[in-house]
Structure 1
């Protein structure tokens, strides 16, 4: 036990305290007075106690009992060791003292607490928390374990692990434990993995030519002799399957395939063996750029071969799919040099697919062309979508005052089943529809559950912002009752004097009531009211909604992905608002753009129709209509090029153009204008893994050190936040999070002449090192123990051995000192008021003596009276003797008189004595 002072400088106040007490004693020589000395002692004690209290003294009391946290690694590399570890802990707990406490926590990539700190006598029978076993983060595990030990206490962490950390820095956490006086012991855990085979490396040339025999190298690590199947996939299509014999240790295999197609391609290798423990380490990916014929993706809903025929002589490789089969990952688009949407509705394409296409164009230079038709542009529902964003035209058109008047009613389900994404997207869709309307148009909005709720009263749309705000404020409600709300919507539009009236009904459920739908729809038709319906999800009454749309002369939409709802409502609003179709035959006007004017040296064919759009400010418009609407517009979007052709490719709208002799040349010019324009292989690319991050190393082939812009996208199209930095002449590094998967890299760099060049490639971050076949990392475990003065534990009882650095509980005693000072102060007051007991006794003794003397005097009065005569005689005798002496003295003076000098000298001495006394 010891004592510490929080403010030790306060002890210097003792010096003036002693000085003041000294002055008190010196004044009047009080140090000779016993009572004054006692009061002084009490006062100095009070001063000492108060000054010590100001210094905040703390008693260091040793904390009894050890606090131990058992930290268990439960990552994939130590699978199968849980029972053995729990048995070790159980045996260790048997040796703990009465006041010893322990806790159990487990970790991998994350941490869970299995048993809180306490002095329980038994450990848990099994782990009860779930961990992500793909990583081993010893650092976060140690940090968490330290929080279980109180801040004012020391303790011990016993970690069970193989030491193969794949995330974090355990040594840094160990230093923090040392600063807190926490010891770190370890118990070596050996992996129970018996059989495993892992792909260690996959190599393919980063650049190939079409038709080339591409070589693929594959490295396999194994701890067994086993036959295995190797499969290779190119853009998710299997191109090779072969049986191989794998030996224990490192194996190298080579395969080849014929490079086909062109563009950025993803190669994937897989290995499969019987009895293999981990499937996570059985696949790797790599990318390669194949140079050859450009590859074009044509997306169209209806069978049509006009485009294919027009492109037959171009040498371009073609793939044709329907919108519903568009790829759902980024690599599915990067294998193409350009994409054509041939009269495709947005309602069949999810928001995510549109975003992937937009990213492929912006960051990787893939071209994009949209052709017109009744299901394209604004009529297709592309208003405010990622596709509209990349196009050189807006879906809204000029001349809105020429459009027919419109009354639009949106009837939206707000029942409880719509809660979440469906309701949010439905509200967003309704808000988009409002933005497409004119202020002269009429809008009404009804949200219903078991009854209709009129959110926006039916009337002219004077304040769009207010209407949008009301729509977005809708919250989910109760049940579903459709008929009453639909009946109200028809009633609101019935008497309005408008050229077009349209209702959009959107629901994800079935109505709880029935009604005469046919009657209200027929009455609505007499008043020029049409009805379209949208069924969301599997629970919607599809039969009813499809029947309602058919009776109401509208359209029925069956929605499985809620993200298409905004496109549906946009399309419905556009089709109800205006046709957008300019169908008066005309001769287009060709502007002075050399690459296009050369096609029209013999004249411009007649065109039948097109969809009206508005060119964006930076767009180029080589071909215009007679109304100066864009027929063909183009621009640069990111590093990609896009074109909007507002007529069609079938001849129905394009008219004489489809029969024109240079029609194939025109189609080829559309495609070639959008093909990527970038240099090949300006950089060497390699990837290295670090702690919680990976580094992409770029080396300029031309050894240039000009600034670059790098964009990294994941397989699902999510942008990865990163930045590129120059680390050496011609060498760059791009840091990305270490997350397994395929990534695509787009690099832009301005050359000496200011021209922007671009390069696209891909790279893969392989599976976690957790699945590598490695032994125990004893070096790391020893380092951690050495930092904290811990050790390796071989004996279970050692977990609760006494700590080398004891912890103490600090207890402040200032209040006790102040209390004692007050007690002494009151004692001093009592002494000064009533006196010290010993002094009072001496006074009483003196008084008694006086009383005794008085008594004796009274008793002796009689004796004195009797002897008075004798005393008088003696007194007379004494007086006579005195008189005689006086006479003799005077006689002597007369006989020997003093001289004047002696008298003056005597007087002088008397005066000097008098002065000294004064």
Structure 2
């Protein structure tokens, strides 16, 4: 190949390569620009300052060198570069070659016998230039060009046609319908095409192209010289190719910049010049009619040019989908943030960027905006245990403005575990929105995982069964598998795993009923992903209905013996020790709590018990005593809503007035947030408000907030307006510092000193068990309180082992009050209420030794049945009971016959389950005659059997649940003989998700998949055990199978599944997107033009309006009348307007009208003023004279 000026030859490995000096591009050898930046007018991004006359608007971001190599095809449609790499050849290159007649959109192959230069480098962004009607699609290459003419070097103007030998033809006046080509003198190189500054650059073939150039170059220096003496050296600095550029002119460019209006055939606008001149010369009419006709002519000319309005505006919309799931490493997530910053910093004035985060559910971090609003941090909380790529793409497409071009860019590893993303890709293709991607590679080589634990759904007691464990491995390796049942080791084995799936079999026998959990642990060396090295599953043992009895000390008594004597299967446990998880409760049909305080259970256990009753159809029985119901702290607990009785304080049953001072710690530790978006201070305020609501109108209360000093929020006042007092308490905020205990107690004592004759005075101190400071001489203070009959209770936030716990316990002991500790801030409202109830009145009613020596009487309520008659004999007396009130919809079985008429036994349905409250102490010193009654056992057993009968089984329903990735598929099969009953009212499926806190059940929509089958799909949003339950008519339900999600779906092995890169590549292929290494170049690659609306309908309407106005003005004489009104208003005299005379008549040479012409028979003129001077008008001939003259002319012609 013949090298041009400034080249040098070298031979490497037998391959001759011609390389142009990089200095001709203003670059140092071996160094090219690596980051694409948008160019600006007046400078180039090639690393050099342009010389005089250089129009750098045609310069793209390119770092290139001239080489020779194998033949290449370079597509100009923005998809990808295709090449055949040879020895020592750059990986990506483009060719300046002879423009043979090849399919549009590609640079053709080099024909035989013609040498060609090749340019290598990465495609970068083009500089937008509105003078060319839009944005270039991409920059292809850059090189040098030596202009020459027949007479030597000379300038190339925009209207000048260079017609010398070997020079590329440039002529904007003649549209070019094919490739323009030329050859550099003496170099043997061929240039594919050149366009001047006013001609559009169009390469490729799309629907909105008006030219068919296959390759185009822009002259960067029209005044260059071949010898390169002048700055710039006549070098060609940029090559652009795109499908959004159109032919245009200066007129069209101005309209485009100002009004965003362009024309399909702008040259037709030139018709306005001859048409306007002809109208002015021969058809011009004065007045409004003339203007209307001129306007109509202009509208028609504009309509011929095909005007279109670009309603989308300039620029490109980019919707960025960022993967924030667990499978993406922290390094890749940090890289994603940097890429977002690069995209925000490199976008142009018209470009917009939106950010959607990819997780279990998509979250829109930033709407489409011109502003930089993300700030490098994500604000939305996502579920990292999922990658629903399809939902994220759908959300992104919903953000697209159909009037503007848009692209979606995905930054992800592509390992989606949601629905199929290809449907979203097809929708994107229909919308004309390509989906590009930047792949985040994920290391999985050498991974071994527990893929599944296959267990039977249910077995009978002592029934042998077999289960399998599936291990997935990337390659051959050794490992150890440990199998645990309910936390205890069942088996351990070492195996050699082959590549792929490996199956291990185990056997077991179970005796106790309920759900049993099996866990599998895998240990292998050098495992890159340890999160998936565990698995779990559950199996249910169908052992029939069973009871769980919870007591405070874990010891049985009369109640346990009565249940066992009735052959009811019952398990005894200590309330504080039993876990009371849904797994542990699954084997029981009912739970009995015997005289156990709520503190032994705690809020979480009580919440799970409530869920067990309401959502799983279990039964609950709570018995009375001094440590139960309101006295035991069940008021405002999670079980309060489940029980058929209420435990509030009622005004009519109060006997003592109470003065109470509530002292709250508002130190800095109270500002710590807790679940639900609240702080510890907020929950303490809620507890205070609950205390106020429990007090009567005759009680008094004071609220004090304490940090380093006391602050009286509410002075001691009667509770006549509890809502106002509660409102002030709810506004207390943490102010920092610690709590000074001594000053707090002193301030509370001063407030209670204002109580007067109130006999019950009480202080409730709430403090942090780890931050209670400055106790001072509290012992002497509490001795003074005892003399003044003031009691002190303490609620400590923390545990009994905290540093200041002993101080708080000593204060409560010396103050003769209660001491309560809790590490759960959400327990505070219940603890506040519990202490208030214990002080305001004793809710455990004891017999009066004088009037009720034999006990308190009670009686069965007439007509009440549980599982039969409860007997007609008199109900025995009792020595004590918990004062409660029956709730609406609940049934009273036994009631007291004292002044309270309180329920002793009540029952009701709650959710899917049943609940019973027996307010009597069934086994203790207050049982009285009831504990010695002959019908004692039958009474308790009858209530228990009613609870056990609560589950109405659906024998005609079979439920199956299978896990598929992060989804669970629930299938319901109906008995064909009974399926007709469910046609109009299909059964409902409830899925109980796992969680430490109580979770709301999921209720998917069942869809008919056959005559007797239904199916639903549920997303497993968190790890753990999921339970199913099918509800039918008449309170019937069936417990379905249990499925577990042992670890995040992000770490599920992808055996037999396409890799993430393959998924993204297929999505991009369907949507006509591409993989991007440099994401910033996406702005230079719009998939289509912004939406353009044709203005022809509007021009047609405007033309019709103008035409109607012109005709109406002439026919109805509108303009004459409006002229008369205008003249009358201006001069006070009406002057007849002159009749418009066409200009062409005045040029025919006709003689002027004679003086004896009769006057125009127009309406009489009224002279408004005598001094008004009328314009002189020649008299017109009368009508008879006109006819007489016509006859004379006719006779003369006949002669």
TM-score if structure 2 supplies the norm length?
0.56
- What is residue 251 of structure 1 aligned with on the other side? 502
Alignment partners' CA distance in 1, 2:320 and 2:513: 56
Alignment partners' CA distance in 1, 2:275 and 2:1027: 83
- What is residue 126 of structure 1 aligned with on the other side? none
- What is residue 756 of structure 2 aligned with on the other side? 496
Displacement of 1:290: 2.4
Q: Secondary structure at the match of 1:471?
A: helix
- What is residue 407 of structure 1 aligned with on the other side? 659
- String of CA shifts for 1:312-338, please: whole Å, max 9, x gaps: 444455444444445374333333222
1:252–1:511 CA distance, 2 compared to 1 (3 A): closer
Task: Give yes or no for contact 1:262–1:291 (8 Å, CA) kept in 2.
Answer: yes
Task: Give yes or no for contact 1:612–1:646 (8 Å, CA) kept in 2.
Answer: yes
Which of 546, 550, 566 is residue 809 of structure 2 equivalent to?
Answer: 546
Task: Give yes or no for contact 1:285–1:764 (8 Å, CA) kept in 2.
Answer: no
Alignment partners' CA distance in 2, 1:263 and 1:525: 54
1:722 paired to 2:982:
no
Alignment partners' CA distance in 1, 2:330 and 2:794: 56
Alignment partners' CA distance in 2, 1:595 and 1:188: 66
Task: Give yes or no for contact 1:73–1:107 (8 Å, CA) kept in 2.
Answer: yes
Task: Give yes or no for contact 1:743–1:763 (8 Å, CA) kept in 2.
Answer: yes
Task: Give yes or no for contact 1:682–1:759 (8 Å, CA) kept in 2.
Answer: no
- What is residue 622 of structure 1 aligned with on the other side? 893
1:333 paired to 2:614:
no
How many residues align structurally?
789
- Aligned pairs for 1:835-874 (under 5 A) are none
1:198 paired to 2:442:
no
- String of CA shifts for 1:568-608, please: whole Å, max 9, x gaps: 22121111111112221234323454568867678754422
- Aligned pairs for 1:221-620 (under 5 A) are 221-234=472-485, 239-243=490-494, 246-292=497-543, 294-306=545-557, 307-327=559-579, 329-396=581-648, 400-419=652-671, 420-479=678-737, 480-494=739-753, 495-508=755-768, 510-537=771-798, 541-584=804-847, 585-592=855-862, 593=864, 604-620=875-891
- What is residue 816 of structure 1 aligned with on the other side? none
Structure showing the higher helix proportion among its residues: 1
Displacement of 1:378: 0.6
Which of the pair has the greater relative contact order for Cα pairs under 8 Å at 6+ separation? 1
- String of CA shifts for 1:402-421, please: whole Å, max 9, x gaps: 52222222111222321253
- Greater C-alpha radius of gyration: 1
Alignment partners' CA distance in 2, 1:117 and 1:396: 55
Alignment partners' CA distance in 1, 2:316 and 2:1018: 43
Displacement of 1:364: 0.9
Task: Give yes or no for contact 2:457–2:1041 (8 Å, CA) kept in 1.
Answer: no
Alignment partners' CA distance in 1, 2:432 and 2:868: 83
- What is residue 1037 of structure 2 aligned with on the other side? 758
Q: Secondary structure at the match of 1:425?
A: helix
1:381–1:801 CA distance, 2 compared to 1 (3 A): closer
Alignment partners' CA distance in 2, 1:182 and 1:401: 73
In structure 2, the gaps of 5 or more residues are 1-245, 371-379, 672-677, 848-854, 1093-1187
Alignment partners' CA distance in 1, 2:321 and 2:890: 63
Alignment partners' CA distance in 2, 1:258 and 1:637: 36
Identify the range of structure 1 (589-598 vs 550-559) with the bigger mean alpha-carbon deviation.
589-598
- What is residue 841 of structure 1 aligned with on the other side? none
Alignment partners' CA distance in 2, 1:520 and 1:463: 32
Alignment partners' CA distance in 1, 2:959 and 2:463: 21
Identify the range of structure 1 (591-600 vs 267-276) with the bigger mean alpha-carbon deviation.
591-600
1:106–1:497 CA distance, 2 compared to 1 (3 A): closer
Q: Secondary structure at the match of 1:544?
A: helix
Q: Secondary structure at the match of 1:350?
A: helix
1:656–1:304 CA distance, 2 compared to 1 (3 A): farther
Displacement of 1:365: 1.5
1:501–1:274 CA distance, 2 compared to 1 (3 A): same
- Aligned pairs for 1:678-689 (under 5 A) are 678-679=952-953, 682-687=956-961
Displacement of 1:637: 1.3
- What is residue 745 of structure 1 aligned with on the other side? 1028
Identify the range of structure 1 (186-195 vs 367-376) with the bigger mean alpha-carbon deviation.
186-195
Displacement of 1:374: 1.4
Alignment partners' CA distance in 2, 1:206 and 1:798: 54
Displacement of 1:440: 1.6
Displacement of 1:551: 1.0
Q: Secondary structure at the match of 1:622?
A: strand
- What is residue 157 of structure 2 aligned with on the other side? none
Q: Secondary structure at the match of 2:690?
A: helix
Task: Give yes or no for contact 1:619–1:634 (8 Å, CA) kept in 2.
Answer: yes
TM-score if structure 1 supplies the norm length?
0.72
Displacement of 1:665: 4.3
- String of CA shifts for 1:729-788, please: whole Å, max 9, x gaps: 3323334224243212222211xxxx3311123432545265223453787455434334
Identify the range of structure 1 (296-305 vs 182-191) with the bigger mean alpha-carbon deviation.
182-191
- String of CA shifts for 1:476-527, please: whole Å, max 9, x gaps: 2243233233212222223521232211110126455454323332222222
- What is residue 771 of structure 1 aligned with on the other side? 1052
- String of CA shifts for 1:333-359, please: whole Å, max 9, x gaps: 333222222222223443333222111
Displacement of 1:264: 4.7
Displacement of 1:361: 0.3
Displacement of 1:448: 2.2
Alignment partners' CA distance in 1, 2:270 and 2:436: 48
Task: Give yes or no for contact 1:79–1:192 (8 Å, CA) kept in 2.
Answer: no
Alignment partners' CA distance in 1, 2:780 and 2:414: 77
Alignment partners' CA distance in 1, 2:568 and 2:833: 35
- What is residue 911 of structure 2 aligned with on the other side? 638
Q: Secondary structure at the match of 1:297?
A: strand
In structure 1, the gaps of 5 or more residues are 119-128, 811-908
- Aligned pairs for 1:649-668 (under 5 A) are 649-660=922-933, 663-668=936-941
Displacement of 1:144: 9.6
Alignment partners' CA distance in 2, 1:220 and 1:468: 59
Displacement of 1:663: 4.1
- What is residue 711 of structure 1 aligned with on the other side? 990
- Aligned pairs for 1:877-896 (under 5 A) are none
1:722–1:48 CA distance, 2 compared to 1 (3 A): same
